[in-house]
Copies of this chain bind each other. A is one copy, B any other.
Amino acid sequence: MKRRSFREAECPVARTLDAIGDWWSLLIVRDAFDGIRRFSAFQQNLGIAKGILSTRLRDLVEAGVLSLAPASDGSAYQEYVLTEKGRGLFLVIVALRQWGEDHLFRAGERRSMLVDAATETPVDRLKLHASDGRGLTWEDTRIVDAASCAPKGSPSPPKSA
């Protein structure tokens, strides 16, 4: 009765959710983007049980999203910091944020906001584009099998690995 795994799914969305799609992981990652690094800081900020946090952090480190580094304040403790792979989740967080802003707030309700630090102005909306720059909506797209759609530099035909 184990939870189904999509680690080997053909769909990248499924693999991503398999890796970080549980209830707490993305919240932890969001906190990491907000500068939180210490176990107790995550725990207090999220109100998560320590046992769960412990396994989630371990899983995220195992997944290569976070890594353990010596504390920046010189103490003997360690900190959890985003790896390059973890920082790659930024647009996932932004996409979640923009959807929430659009659909989950009543008018005038207090909310945090993502701004361009240089100008303090809100960032632009994410948009999807074709390779030639045209804007795309869901209706303009299709899912195909990679084998049938080799990109320019066709790295290698899917023979073994």
Give the interface of A toward B (CB within 8 A): 3-4, 6, 10-17, 19, 21-23, 26-27, 30, 33-34, 46-48, 64, 85, 87-124, 126-134, 136-138, 140-147, 149, 151, 155-161
A112 CB to nearest chain B CB (Å): 5
Q: Is the CB of A99 within 8 A of B110?
A: no
A130: which B residues are within 8 A, CB to CB? 116, 118-119, 121, 123-124
Q: Is the CB of A123 within 8 A of B112?
A: no
The docked-state distance in angstroms from the alpha carbon of A11 to that of B119 is: 21
Q: Is the CB of B96 within 8 A of A137?
A: no
The docked-state distance in angstroms from the alpha carbon of A118 to that of B135 is: 12
A117: which B residues are within 8 A, CB to CB? 140-142
Question: Given contacts A91-B126, A123-B130, A138-B33, is CB(A156)–CB(B113) below 8 Å?
Answer: no
Q: Is the CB of A96 within 8 A of B17?
A: yes
Closest to A35 in B: B143
From the candidates B92, B116, B133, name the one contacting A99 in the complex (CB within 8 A).
Answer: B92
A13: which B residues are within 8 A, CB to CB? 26-27, 30, 93, 96-97, 100
Q: Is the CB of B23 within 8 A of A144?
A: no
Q: Is the CB of B111 within 8 A of A140?
A: no
A2 CB to nearest chain B CB (Å): 12
